[in-house]
Amino acid sequence: MNPQRRQLLQAGAASLLAAPLFVRHARAADVPRFALGVASGQPRADRLVLWTRLTGIDLPPSVPVQWELSHDEAFTDIVARGTETAEAAWAHSVHAEPSALGPGRWYWYRFSALGQRSPAGRTRTAPADDAAATLQFAIASCQRWDHGHYAAWRHMATQPLDLVMFLGDYIYEYPSPPDALRRVDGPLLRTLAQYRERYAQYKSDEALQAAHAAFPWLVIWDDHEVENDHSRERGQTLSGAAFQALRAAAYQAWWEHMPVAKAMRPTFSPAGPSLRLYDRFHWGRLARIHALDDRQYRDPHACPPLLRPGGSQVIMAVDCAELQDPQRSLLGFEQERWLAEGWDLQRPWNLLAQQTLMARLSRQAVTGPNTGEFWTDGWDGYAPSRTRLLGAVAERRVPNMVVLGGDVHAHYVADLKLDFDDPKSPVLASEFCGTSISSHGPSQKQVNQRLRLNPHVHHGRGDQRGYIGFTLDERALQATLMVVDRPNDATSPVRADVRFAVEAGRPGPQRA
Ligand SMILES: [Fe+2]
């Protein structure tokens, strides 16, 4: 063989061997490993949770991920660092839990792995339990990808907030309709891989990433993280083992993508998965925040539609005696007891972060017992459960209880009472239900009719997307209902629409 040909062959063999390796390395190094951004959550006075998830091809089964937490944005004053192992079995998610932190202060954090560094996020601890405090926060819910853009998040990320409460419907399980504004990939969600892909697509949104990176979040789920209108034991299309398998996949994917503690990782049994979501948080000596789970333990819906295993409908009270059954619960009796025994009688405020509208919202005139028309998925579908909750608030004289909710894709501001039809029934608590980030809402004509039939509801807008911003101090809660001008435009302005206030010691929102 002549030397030239041997050289050529050697070069060829070398390139055959080397090229794929080289290409693979080049590709791996270029693939963004932190494409879903960073997040933080569950702030306590001494600790919080930092989250990310590694992305891209060729991830080994387990990857060490370094994290660091700093007093300053330039990361010159590092206060804590550590290493977590991102495992394929948990979608290479990272849940780091720095502890022994100083109370009531801001921190910056970032991750590094596989030669790349994540964007930095900003977070904070809660004030010390006995410290005077103020709290600026926002509530948000229902961010259906194919219904609108996330201008609300883009705006919120620029606001001076301490905390975001996300109250459910982080993803939706449906495939996109043909005329969707922006399409989701994939079919109706049925498998762990599909849920993971859906979270990854939602989390690819820059505005959502910015809102996560700007503040710590408290997150709870509602139905669409699993399937529309599900209960403890059935969805609207599945029941039995098939529903429990679906719920297990959905719980796992939720945990993998949320800034929540490692201890909340779901456990699985043939009877179904479990993930303890409900919990309490303190904001100095200002407020106790109770985060509820109205999905995992709820009894199946009253009077489900014919030909479906479960799910909701709107039904006349006279046609559904089950609506008044005291044996049924929205929270499950264990969580009901936990809440009734856990009201804070010392701090001036009790904030109840939960999924949906608590105020009675009849669609037909209520003219006496067993009249009116109700949606069976909300608190109206479990009225005795609501009566027990508000009864405990009245009996224990819980100071300044404020219910925060979402789910119904409309802004509602309401008084909460034991008897919504008795004008003399005292106002026990205040309610702010925030509209959706992007999911379509009811028509304003429908909402106006409901306002006429339910005088304890002071304000309702189904035609607005947005969120609610709050400022809380010892004397008052100020609420500003924020509205996206053009929900189909990612760069739309967001404006303050109306304001309400609750004075400490005087339950019931007043227009401000
Ligand atoms: Fe929703």
For the chain, the structural domain boundaries read 1-30, 38-123, 137-511
38-123: CATH topology is Immunoglobulin-like (2.60.40)
Does the pLDDT at position 53 exceed 50? yes
- Across all residues in the chain, what is the average pLDDT? 94
3-state secondary structure (DSSP) of residue 316: strand
Q: Distance from the CA of 421 to the center of ligand 1, in angstroms?
A: 28
pLDDT on residue 306: 86
What mean pLDDT comes out for the span 28-49?
A: 94
Does the pLDDT at position 3 exceed 80? no
Q: Distance from the CA of 450 to the center of ligand 1, in angstroms?
A: 19
Q: Distance from the CA of 141 to the center of ligand 1, in angstroms?
A: 7
pLDDT band at 261 (very low <50, low <70, confident <90, very high): very high
Q: Distance from the CA of 268 to the center of ligand 1, in angstroms?
A: 26
Q: Distance from the CA of 3 to the center of ligand 1, in angstroms?
A: 72
pLDDT on residue 257: 98
Residue 477 in tokens = 């809660």
Q: Distance from the CA of 40 to the center of ligand 1, in angstroms?
A: 23
Does the pLDDT at position 493 exceed 50? yes
3-state secondary structure (DSSP) of residue 2: coil
Does the pLDDT at position 9 exceed 60? no
Q: Distance from the CA of 227 to the center of ligand 1, in angstroms?
A: 11
Task: Report yes or no: 41 and 216 within 8 Å, Cβ to Cβ.
Answer: yes
pLDDT band at 27 (very low <50, low <70, confident <90, very high): low
Task: Please spell the DSSP secondary structure of 117-152, one letter per residue.
Answer: EPPPEEEEPPPPTTS---EEEEEE----GGG---HH
pLDDT on residue 438: 98
- Share of residues in the chain with pLDDT > 90 (%): 92
Measured CA angle at 492 (ends 486, 496), to 5 deg = 85
Distances (CA, A) of 37 to 4, 218, 245, 323: 52, 17, 29, 44
pLDDT band at 244 (very low <50, low <70, confident <90, very high): very high
pLDDT on residue 7: 46
* Alpha carbon distance 346, 404 (integer Å): 20
Q: Distance from the CA of 361 to the center of ligand 1, in angstroms?
A: 17
pLDDT band at 28 (very low <50, low <70, confident <90, very high): low
Q: Distance from the CA of 438 to the center of ligand 1, in angstroms?
A: 9
Q: How many contiguous H segments (helices) and E segments (strands) does the chain have?
A: 8, 26
What mean pLDDT comes out for the span 476-490?
A: 98
Q: Distance from the CA of 167 to the center of ligand 1, in angstroms?
A: 10
Q: How far from each other are the two terminal CA atoms of the chain, in whole angstroms?
A: 93
Q: Distance from the CA of 222 to the center of ligand 1, in angstroms?
A: 8
Residues 449-479, buried b or exposed e (16+ Cβ, 10 A)?
A: ebbebbebbbbbbbbbbbbbbbbbbeebbeb
Angle between helices 240-257 and 192-203 (to 10 degrees): 30
**pLDDT (tens digit per residue) in 101-139:** 999 999 999 999 999 999 999 999 999 999 999 999 999
Q: Distance from the CA of 216 to the center of ligand 1, in angstroms?
A: 22
* Alpha carbon distance 84, 97 (integer Å): 10
Q: Distance from the CA of 46 to the center of ligand 1, in angstroms?
A: 33
Q: Distance from the CA of 233 to the center of ligand 1, in angstroms?
A: 20
Q: Distance from the CA of 220 to the center of ligand 1, in angstroms?
A: 13
Q: Distance from the CA of 144 to the center of ligand 1, in angstroms?
A: 7
Does the pLDDT at position 309 exceed 50? yes
481: which residues sit within 8 A by CB, 6+ positions away?
411, 413, 434, 435, 459, 461, 464, 466, 468, 496, 497, 498, 499, 500
pLDDT on residue 11: 41
Q: Distance from the CA of 276 to the center of ligand 1, in angstroms?
A: 22
Q: Distance from the CA of 377 to the center of ligand 1, in angstroms?
A: 12
* Alpha carbon distance 7, 14 (integer Å): 10
Q: Distance from the CA of 407 to the center of ligand 1, in angstroms?
A: 4
8 or 254, higher pLDDT = 254
121-124 and 106-113 beta bridge pairing: antiparallel
493 closest CA partner among 466, 511, 473, 474: 466
Q: Distance from the CA of 409 to the center of ligand 1, in angstroms?
A: 6
Q: Distance from the CA of 283 to the center of ligand 1, in angstroms?
A: 28
pLDDT on residue 57: 87
Q: If you search the block for the tokens 């009675």, which residue do you land on?
A: 360
**pLDDT (tens digit per residue) in 56-89:** 989 999 999 999 999 999 999 999 999 999 999 9
What mean pLDDT comes out for the span 491-508?
A: 98
* Alpha carbon distance 162, 430 (integer Å): 22
Q: Please check whether the two domains, 38-123 and 137-511, share a CATH topology.
A: no
Task: Report yes or no: 207 and 150 within 8 Å, Cβ to Cβ.
Answer: yes
Q: Distance from the CA of 426 to the center of ligand 1, in angstroms?
A: 31
309 or 265, higher pLDDT = 265
Which of 14-23, 93-102, 141-150, 365-374 has the weakest average pLDDT? 14-23
Q: Distance from the CA of 356 to the center of ligand 1, in angstroms?
A: 9
What mean pLDDT comes out for the span 359-365?
A: 97
Task: Report yes or no: 188 and 141 within 8 Å, Cβ to Cβ.
Answer: no
Cβ-based neighbour number of residue 423 at 10 Å: 9
Task: Please spell the DSSP secondary structure of 338-377, one letter per residue.
Answer: HHHT---SSSSEEEEE-SS--S---SS---STT-SEEETT
Q: If you search the block for the tokens 């998610």, which residue do you land on?
A: 93
The residue type at 425: S
Q: Distance from the CA of 34 to the center of ligand 1, in angstroms?
A: 28
Q: Distance from the CA of 386 to the center of ligand 1, in angstroms?
A: 21
pLDDT on residue 308: 86
Q: Distance from the CA of 461 to the center of ligand 1, in angstroms?
A: 15
What mean pLDDT comes out for the span 192-203?
A: 98
Does the pLDDT at position 18 exceed 50? no
3-state secondary structure (DSSP) of residue 76: coil
Task: Report yes or no: 504 and 429 within 8 Å, Cβ to Cβ.
Answer: no
Q: What is the dihedral of CA 331, 335, 339, 342, to 10 degrees?
A: -170
pLDDT on residue 250: 98
Q: What is the dihedral of CA 212, 214, 219, 221, to 10 degrees?
A: -40
Q: Distance from the CA of 1 to the center of ligand 1, in angstroms?
A: 73
Given this structure, which CATH class describes domain 137-511?
Answer: alpha beta
Q: Distance from the CA of 140 to the center of ligand 1, in angstroms?
A: 11
**Sign, CA torsion 470/215/55/245:** negative
pLDDT on residue 440: 98
373-375 and 401-405 beta bridge pairing: unpaired
Q: Distance from the CA of 439 to the center of ligand 1, in angstroms?
A: 6
Q: Distance from the CA of 25 to the center of ligand 1, in angstroms?
A: 42
* Alpha carbon distance 398, 268 (integer Å): 37
What mean pLDDT comes out for the span 20-35?
A: 67
Residues, CB-to-ion distance under 5 Å, ligand 1: 142, 169, 439
What mean pLDDT comes out for the span 323-331?
A: 98
Does the pLDDT at position 15 exceed 60? no
Q: Distance from the CA of 410 to the center of ligand 1, in angstroms?
A: 10
Does the pLDDT at position 428 exceed 90? yes
- Share of residues in the chain with pLDDT > 70 (%): 95
Q: Distance from the CA of 71 to the center of ligand 1, in angstroms?
A: 37
Phi, then psi, of 129 in degrees rounded to 5: -50, -35
Does the pLDDT at position 307 exceed 90? no
Q: Distance from the CA of 173 to the center of ligand 1, in angstroms?
A: 11
Rg, C-alpha atoms of the chain: 25
353 or 8, higher pLDDT = 353
3-state secondary structure (DSSP) of residue 81: strand
Q: If you search the block for the tokens 């290409």, which residue do you land on?
A: 23
